[in-house]
Structure 1
Amino acid sequence: MNDSRAQAGEAEVSGKDEGAARRSPEPPPDADKQAPPAAPREAPALRAGGWMVPAYAGALLLLFLGERVVPTIEWARYGLSGLGVATLILVTALRFATALREAGERRAVERALAILSALGVVAVAAYFSTTDAGRALLGVAKAAPDVRARVESATTVGWIALLVIATVPLFFGEAALAPMRRAERIEGRRVRAATLSGVTLAFAAVYSALFVYGASQLDLKADFSYYRTARPGDSTKRVAESLTEPLKITAFFPQLNEVGAEVEGYLREVQASSPQITVEMHDRLLVPALAKEAKVTQDGVIVLSRDTSRETLIVGSDIKAAGAKLKSLDADFQKALLKVVRSQRIAYLTVGHGEMNEAAGAAAADGRTARNLRKLLESQNYLVKDLGLAQGLGSEIPADAYVVVVLGPQKAFLPEEVAALKKYADGGGHLLLALDPDAKVDLDPLAGVVGLTWKPEILLNDRVYVRRRYNESDQAMLVTTRYSSHASVSTLSRHAQQAPTIFPGASSLDKQGGGDLKIDFVVRSLGETFADVDGNFKFDAQSEKRSAYNLAAAVSKELAPAEEGKEKKELRAFVVADADVFSDPAFRNEPNIVLALDAFRWLGGEESFAGEITTNEDVRIEHTKEKDQVWFWATILVAPAMVLGLGLFITRRGRRASGRRS
């Protein structure tokens, strides 16, 4: 049985062979002549490959070792540097030879890499010009010192930049080409993209390095750290410049203390303002006698001494605890400096008429307070006192009053009080009058004390104003940048466009007829402003007109020339038609603080101290219920919805594109 199956299988196979023989054509008789045997392949010539980048990098390493590691051993230097340069030239020549043999995209890619390799050789040649042999060969060594320095600097920057621009794109391009070198065809677009990325990165690195190098040549300092220190402001420097007697500043900080380094930098800048200032930095424990004499018992203390006057400023020596002090160092230092430079003065603030400095209840809740103005006076070495009927406001202003301040009275002054103020002014007194139209009382007698008239109509501007309540009443929130060149607003006038002051509900001022007072209107409103005569918060072209109104005035009159050792007797008054310009909410706008500061300096005869006080204190962030609701819904609903919508858009767009391709 098995034999029969075997025979049947052999028959089947033989049948298949016969069928195949019938289907296959017979080879032509001259087939061996048509297909000669293949000739043996020649050995491939040396060409660019993955080994080129390590060889190029190794050549640069040899050059570095020769020029920077063993430059004093001549045989090692010339051997390593020569081998490195020879390798660079050989690799570059081989790249160009390979580019000539190739075709198509491979040829373009190899040519680009060869050019980058040649640029590296040029960079090495430029480096040679910075060596002693190169300078002697090019004649740079015999040039003038300033010329030689400029040439060496330019050449050094040039060869480093060229080397970075050559090697980074070369390595990027070779990394992209390496996986495709043995392929029949390469993807040139990928290599070009990698090379361009390398070029971009190289130029960015070169630009950053050049920027840092250029910045290092400038004598400028910028501190972006969280605990940044306030630098001396113009005002502090001018106070220092006014010194006519020596001032000694002694700072007690531990050695290598971070806070001490910041404070020393600040004090050195102040010292540069006046030859009368000397600065000493000491470790309290190393000079116990000096610390005891200065009555210093802790680190982080600055002592200012002039004759018998002495002031102490405590900063602290721990950077975390002293961070807030460093931010307000300029303001605190100027306060101590003024106490040493001149004696303390007295400023009287009138009370008994609902003034802003004694606001309480609803007025205080609405922000109509002047606590910051009081602090400003104290920082300028003023002792602030109240002035009412009990203190002589109804009869005679106290003789020790250096300046009298009237801040937005809500009740009319008695005739006797007005007469006392006029007598004080005529005798050479100094007044600051802030007259507010919200009082709904006649304040014209107060303005008349210094030869002015007060117009109670509230001023509006329906084009330029500050949003507060988001209704028509916001038109009374005037903004102005129009300042005169008078000394009472000198800082604002120098920075007018960057220093807009806010007048939250102002009236206007004008001159009285006659008189021998010198009146300068130092702050004026913008030209689109109009007086709202009918009180409807709308401009009526028939009864109202747009104009620039007088918002503040500086009044002066010299009564007697200055005597030796004494100040000249002169009436000085600063009058504003809006008390709210000095309120705590308005002081959130820094130009309003500058307006008050310059006004008091002019009243005190210290207009030469005018300038800004620098501070790096963080601005207080205040939230309202409406703003919190906006942020809540924006983060909970709006932002996720935008992300979801963007995702749906991209997904649907991708599906449409794939559908079109199919």
Structure 2
Amino acid sequence: MSNMKTITKNRQYLEYLFLLGPILCIMGLVAQYVSGTRSLIPLTLLITGIVIIILWLFIGSAARKFWGRRSTQVSTNAIVATLAVLGILALINFLAVRHAVRLDLTENQLFTLSPQSQQVVKSLQQPVKLWVFESNQNPANRELLENYRRSSSQFSFDFVDPELKPGVAQQFGVKSAGEVYVESGKKRQLVQNLQPGDSLSEAKVTNGITQIFSDRQAKIYFLQGHGERPLDSVQGGISQAISRLQDQNFTAQPLNLAQKSAIPTDAAAVVVAGAKRALFPGEVNALKNYLSGGGSLLIMVDPKTDLKLDSLLQEWGVKLDNRLAVDASGKGRLVGLGAATAVVTQYSQHPITKDFGNDISFYPLSRPIEITPVKGIEQTPLLITDNQSWAESNSEGEQLEFNADSDRQGPLTLGVALAKTNSTPSATQANQDTTSSRLVVLGNSEFMTNGLFEQQLNGDVFLNSVSWLSKQDQQVLSIRPKEAKNRRINLTPQLGQLLTWTALLIIPLIGFTTAGMMWWRRR
């Protein structure tokens, strides 16, 4: 009898050992969490506790009684089924991560790259990286670039805050946040200049990738032989402008029309930068023929200079005023210059200047431009001074004062962009877009010289003018922007009030009435 009591008592002690299992498991987990590493002691405690729990579940008498209950069996089946479902979901999630498939169910495929973009990215043979220099990341921009990266392992991108990483921004020559560059090897090219709230353009990104692999660099010819601004780094030279052109995949070449009777057929644009002496009639005719054949020309003429280009400019409705542009607003003091420096903060909505906002560009000793409408020519003033400016006829005087009899009150136009469609393209310009000619006339050339080029928007005026003239604004690929269709329901005020009362009063009243009727029937 005493032996039976002893055996029963020992079984009770063994069953109490079950509590040791959970305690050891908790000790092992806590020790591993505190140590932060998977050491031997926490692992031993955890395994020992699990073993004790398993032994109790299968050999203990209380366990046998526990497992013999019907409620326990039903609960066990439910737990096993739940664990099986969780295991299946975990497996599906694992396979989805390893083999991701994205479905764009929007009507216009708003979150899917166009077939042209997919083809360009999938055909990449070497790494390409897109650099977005912006302080506040736009989630839409990241999602677009993620689509590019999913299409090819050769594509990557990085968002850089110019203020936090000024060294990287300096390598790319970034002047302000929002500039986007594409890079491959040693080649870099500006893709887009984002304004606050703007989104990346798929067309510009894709065409930037296409152009950076293009073997053909657009050639910009600078007219020489008439005292033009030198292309090297001497005083008054434009070497900084030439360097930035090369960064944007342009090639700058000197052009002397006294040695060549016509503009080279591979010219993307011709620049006349601050010539001091008149052009010969044959040179003027060469420029006229070039324009009539679909060419592009940038003319920058300083005051007190007669280049004998009046016949050419007259055909486009442009006349250079011989007076000096004077700015009495005091804005010139911001850049350490006087009233003879015209400061511009007003620009037109043209591809050259549409992103300038109210930022500053300035033009020391510039001349105004007069525009007369000409049929078939689109004329757009680019640089416009404010009301406190005027065209001074007596620039030799000791003081610059407005004279209503001889001076012209502002605002003044200091730059104009012109475009004309040609009906009879010239065969000599086979490499040009012969359906249109483009001309930009600026009443100043000093703004783009070394030292002034990098200040404010001066360099952007020149670079954007060259890009527009070379027709870089015409994308290689035509990718239509994707827009969500308007699915909004336009309600009349009466219908809006009806829906409001229905949601706030009628539907709740129906619910309460139904509940009250059910309660009354069950009484």
| CA shift for structure 1 position 396 | 1.4
Query: Could you list the per-position Cα deviations for residues 228-247 of structure 1 after superposition, in whole angstroms to 9, with x for gaps in the alignment?
Result: xxxxxxxxxxxx99957423
Partners of 1:276 and 1:418 in 2: CA distance: 48
- 1:607 alignment partner, SS class: coil
Q: How far off is 1:572 after superposition? A: 0.6
Change (3 A) 1:469 1:576: closer
Corresponding residue of 2:212 = 339
- What is the TM-score normalised by the length of structure 2? 0.51
- Aligned residue among 493, 496, 505 for 2:365: 505
In structure 2, the residue matched to 1:550 is 413
**Contact 1:391–1:398 under 8 Å retained in 2:** no
Summarize the Cα distance change of 1:331–1:552 in structure 2 as closer, same or farther, 3 Å threshold: same
Aligned partner letter, 1:246: V
Structure 1 residue corresponding to 2:120, chosen from 220, 224, 246:
246
Letter in 2 for 1:491: D
Aligned with 2:403 (options 535, 541, 556): 541
Deviations 1:244-268 (A, max 9, x none): 7423375599xxxxx9xxxxx99x9
Which residue of the partner structure matches residue 474 of structure 1? Answer: 338
Q: Distance in 1 between matches of 2:389 and 2:303?
A: 16
Contact 1:348–1:386 under 8 Å retained in 2 = yes
- Given the alignment of the two structures, is residue 595 of structure 1 paired with residue 461 of structure 2, yes or no? yes
1:542 maps to a residue whose letter is A
Deviations 1:585-634 (A, max 9, x none): 2222241222223222221223368xxxxxxxxxxxxxxxxxxxxxxxxx
Q: Is 1:569 paired with 2:441?
A: no
Matched to 2:280, the amino acid is L
Relative distance call for 1:271 and 1:342 in structure 2 (3 A) is farther
Match of 1:528 in 2: 388
The 5-angstrom pairing of residues 123-162 of structure 1 reads none
Secondary structure at 1:479's aligned position in 2?
strand
2:104 equivalent in structure 1 = none
Q: 2:339 aligns to what SS in structure 1?
A: helix
Partner SS, residue 425 of structure 1: helix
| SS at structure 2 position matched to 1:356 | coil
Equivalent position amino acid for 2:365 in 1: G
Residue by residue over 1:406-437, the C-alpha shift from the partner in whole angstroms, topping out at 9 and shown as x without a partner, is: 10101111111111101111111011111111
CA distance in 2: counterparts of 1:559 and 1:326, whole angstroms = 38
1:348 counterpart SS class: strand
Distance in structure 2 (CA, Å) of the matches to 1:330 and 1:553: 27
Kindly name which structure, 1 or 2, has the bigger radius of gyration based on alpha carbons.
1
CA RMSD of superposed structures (Å):
4.4
Q: 2:317 aligned with 1:451, yes or no? A: yes
**Alpha-carbon distance between aligned partners in 2 of 1:326 and 1:241, rounded to the nearest angstrom:** 30
The match for 1:355 among 218, 221, 228 is 228
Identify the residue that residue 257 of structure 2 maps to in structure 1: 389
How high is the TM-score relative to the length of structure 1?
0.41
Corresponding position of 2:268: 402
Q: How far apart, CA to CA, are the structure 2 residues paired with 1:241 and 1:577?
A: 45
- Aligned residue identity for 1:548: P
Superposed displacement of residue 399, structure 1: 1.3
Cα drift, residue 540 of structure 1: 3.1
Tell me how far apart the structure 1 counterparts of residues 342 and 324 of structure 2 sit (CA, whole Å): 11
Cα displacement (A) at 1:331: 5.0
Amino acid at match of 2:218: R
1:520 and 1:252 map into 2 onto residues whose CA distance is 37
Give distance in 2, aligned partners of 1:386 and 1:572: 20
1:137-536 mapped onto 2 (5 Å cutoff):
243=117, 245-247=119-121, 248=124, 250-251=126-127, 272-273=144-145, 278=151, 280=153, 325=171, 333=183, 334-335=188-189, 337=209, 338-340=211-213, 343-358=216-231, 364-365=234-235, 368-392=236-260, 395-437=261-303, 439=305, 444-445=310-311, 447-448=313-314, 450-467=316-333, 474-492=338-356, 496-497=357-358, 499-512=359-372, 514=374, 516-535=376-395, 536=397
Aligned amino acid, residue 221 of structure 2: Y
In structure 1, give the amino acid aligned to 2:144: A
Q: 1:442 to 1:421 in 2, by over 3 A?
A: closer
**2:511 — aligned with what?**
none
Distance 1:357 1:326, change over 3 A: closer
Contact in 2 for aligned 1:555/1:574 (Cα 8 Å): yes
Q: How far apart, CA to CA, are the structure 1 residues paired with 2:267 and 2:401?
A: 44
Specify every segment of 5 or more residues in structure 1 that has no aligned partner in the other structure, as ranges. Answer: 1-69, 77-239, 254-258, 260-264, 282-301, 305-318, 610-662
Q: Secondary structure at the match of 2:355?
A: helix
Over residues 548-583 of structure 1, what are the superposed CA-to-partner deviations in whole Å (9 max), with x where a residue is unaligned? 111111111112599xx9946210111111112222
> Is the 8 Å Cα contact of residues 250 and 303 (structure 1) preserved in structure 2?
no
| Cα 1:242/1:455, change in 2 over 3 Å | farther
- Greater RCO (CA < 8 Å, at least 6 residues apart): 2
Q: Distance in 2 between matches of 1:397 and 1:443?
A: 16
The amino acid of 1:475's aligned partner reads A
- Distance in 2 separating the partners of 1:553 and 1:323: 32
5+ long unaligned stretches in structure 2 = 1-23, 31-113, 132-136, 158-164, 190-207, 426-430, 476-523
- Structure 1 segment 554-633 matched on structure 2, within 5 A: 554-560=417-423, 567=433, 569-607=435-473
**Counterpart position of 1:190:** none
In structure 2, give the amino acid aligned to 1:352. G
CA offset at residue 387 of structure 1? 0.6
Q: Distance in 2 between matches of 1:484 and 1:320?
A: 31
**Secondary structure of residue in 2 paired with 1:272:** helix
Alignment identity in percent?
19
Higher strand proportion: 2
Amino acid at match of 1:488: I
Equivalent in the alignment of 1:194: none
Q: Structure 2 matches for 1:636-647, cutoff 5 A?
A: none
Deviates more, 1:375-384 or 1:348-357: 375-384
Q: Secondary structure at the match of 1:421?
A: helix
CA contact (8 A) 1:477 1:503 kept: yes
